Structure formats: C-alpha cells, structure tokens
Structure 1
Amino acid sequence: MNAQQRELRALYQDTDERTEPFDPMTLTGEGCVLLAAEEEGELVACGALKRWDTESAEVKRMYTVPDARGRGIGRALLEELQARGQAEGYARLVLETGDQQAAALALYERAGFRRIPNFGYYEGIENSLCFALPLKPA
C-alpha cells in the first residue's frame, strides 16, 4: 500500500513525505471489506469498501502493482467489491480518483461508474474526480 502512495506522489509531483503509512485497520468495521490478490505469495492488487453512510460504501485503495497490470486483476477485484457491496445491502458505491490516472478512470467508467460532484474530503480539490455506481438489490 505504501507503494501506491509513492506512485501517486510521483504522478502528481507531490513532494510531501509526511503522509502516514497506510493502516489497514482504517478499513475494518461494520460494512467494510478489504480484498487482496496474491501471486506466488506476493501481494499484487488490493481494493476495499468503507461504509460511507447507511446507503453507500466508498471504494478505497484500489491498486495493482505495475508488473501485474493489464491482466484484469483490478477489474476482477472491482467486480468482487461490487458483489460484496450488494451483499452488504448498499444502494450505491462511490469513489474518488485523480484526473491523471487514465487507467483507473477507464476501469471505473467501463464498470458503469458515472461522475458526480466531489463529496466530503474531496470537495474543492481540482484534480479529484468522484464517481458513483447504483447497485441492484441483492
């Protein structure tokens, strides 16, 4: 997960190294889901759902290591997160990604996510793009 943060800092030319290391405990609790994909004992991708409100969960920490990209692993994780969101009874998923992350934008748009106004922490952040996906009842 720290590799994700380093990659994003480089992409957005953010030199602030004070970012706290990722703590998986922030994605635990009622209504949260944390998924990971491994190959030969190595973590290659991850993604999570975090309860946003009673009706919504936010897709968080979607990341695939560079050597594993282009093989559908991220798509498979996102599909499983959608299924888990339905099983948890959420009516929709929301997410935020950056405007320089073309592969992520394409993944989310192919999955049916549509742009919405920036929400919560992301309000007013120009290079943040927020999306939502309605879920069918399980």
Structure 2
Amino acid sequence: MKIRQVAWEDADAMRLRARQRAEIAVRYGTEDSEPGVAPSAADVAVFLLAHDPDGVAVGCGGLRDLGAGVGEVKRMYVEPDRRGSHAATLILRALEDWARSQGWTRLRLETGDRQPDAVRFYTRSGYERIPNFGAYAGVESSLCFERLL
C-alpha cells in the first residue's frame, strides 16, 4: 500500500467519500446522519488516499483542524473488499504523523453506535472513549474518541 496526500477535490477522494457516505446512509437509514458540520475543502487540513500495488485508490481519511493543537479525523473509509489489508491502519498512522509534524498534540473523532467495526478499529489503534465534544455533545448515537500524540 502506498499513502499519498491529495486535494479534497481529487476524483478518487470524491469517489471514496461518496461510497463512505452511501455505506453510512444504509447503516443509519438516512442520507444525512452527520451530527456536525460536514467536512469540506475549506476546513480539511490534509486528505490522504491509500493505493494498492496496482495504483487503485482503496481507502481515504482526512483531518480537520479544531485549533489549540487538536485535530479531528474525518471521512475514514476503506473499500469493503480491501478491509483487513491494513489500509486503514496505514492511513490513520500517516494522519497521526502529519498531525505531529504540525505540532498537534491530540486527535479526536466521532463515530456512530451502528459502527462497531469502527469502534473496534479505533480502540485497537489507541483511541480512548471521551465525552462527546462540539457538535456531537448530546447526540446519543455519537461515540467520541481521542488519542494523545
């Protein structure tokens, strides 16, 4: 797997984000399950893609700058047939490395109560459950996590 930084508007990034949103819509039964402000080119500091040995983009993830040395993981996704390939781990570690290079000291994220696979992945990756923050405060279906860098 090769990880590379791309623009938010990159065609593969847009394709993978659309697939991520479609999967979330199926799990939650709604097109708009985003409790907070959806990420955009204006507020995502970095966006990464994972490419397989054939150069096919199979996963993605980005970071939103929350200020005060804190970032938020956004739009983590790996194609279903590529899960278990370590693509998600490589993306997340590359995001953490990028955050450290910017002087950030922690990363936060939100996932939902219908995503036990995501909860397992983030917990295995060293993220610990925290009280819901920001737009997720008071949202019962949101589960928030944080990792000190």
Kept in 2, the 8 Å contact 1:27–1:34? The answer is no
Tell me if 1:5 matches 2:21.
yes
Deviation per CA, 1:30-89: give whole Å up to 9, x if none.
Answer: xx1110012334321001111011220001110001111111110111111111111110
Note if 1:124 corresponds to 2:132: no
- Which amino acid in the other structure matches residue 37 of structure 1? A
With normalisation by structure 2, the TM-score equals: 0.78
Q: What is the aligned counterpart of 1:113 among 104, 109, 127? A: 127
The percent identity for this pair of structures is 40
Shift in Å at residue 125 of structure 1?
A: 1.2
**In structure 2, distance between residues paired with 1:13 and 1:58:** 25
By relative contact order (CA 8 Å, sep 6+), the higher-ranking structure is: 2
Give every structure 1 segment of 4 or more consecutive aligned residues whose post-TM-superposition deviation is greater than 6 Å: none
Name 2:96's counterpart in structure 1: 82
Tell me, in whole angstroms, the C-alpha distance in 2 between the residues paired with 1:16 and 1:80: 28
Partner amino acid, structure 2, of 1:117: P
Report if the CA contact (8 A) 1:27-1:33 is conserved: no
1:1-138 map, 5 Å: 1-15=17-31, 25-28=41-44, 32-39=45-52, 40-135=54-149
- Structure 2's unaligned 5+ residue stretches are 1-16
Q: Equivalents in 2 of 1:26, 1:112: separation in Å?
A: 29
- Residue 133 of structure 1 and its aligned partner are, at CA, apart by 0.5
The alpha carbon displacement at 1:15 in A equals: 5.0
Which runs of 5 or more structure 1 residues have no equivalent in the other structure? none
Q: d(CA) in 1 for partners of 2:76 and 2:87? A: 11
1:52 counterpart SS class: strand
Three-state SS of the structure 2 residue aligned to 1:25 is coil
CA 1:26/1:101 → structure 2, altered by over 3 Å: closer, same or farther?
Answer: farther
Contact persistence 2:39–2:64 (CA under 8 A): no
Q: CA deviation at 1:23?
A: 7.3
For the 8 Å contact 1:27–1:48, the answer to whether it is kept is no
- TM-score under structure 1 normalisation? 0.84
Aligned partner letter, 1:13:
G
Distance across 2 between alignment mates of 1:130 and 1:106: 13
RMSD value, Cα: 1.9
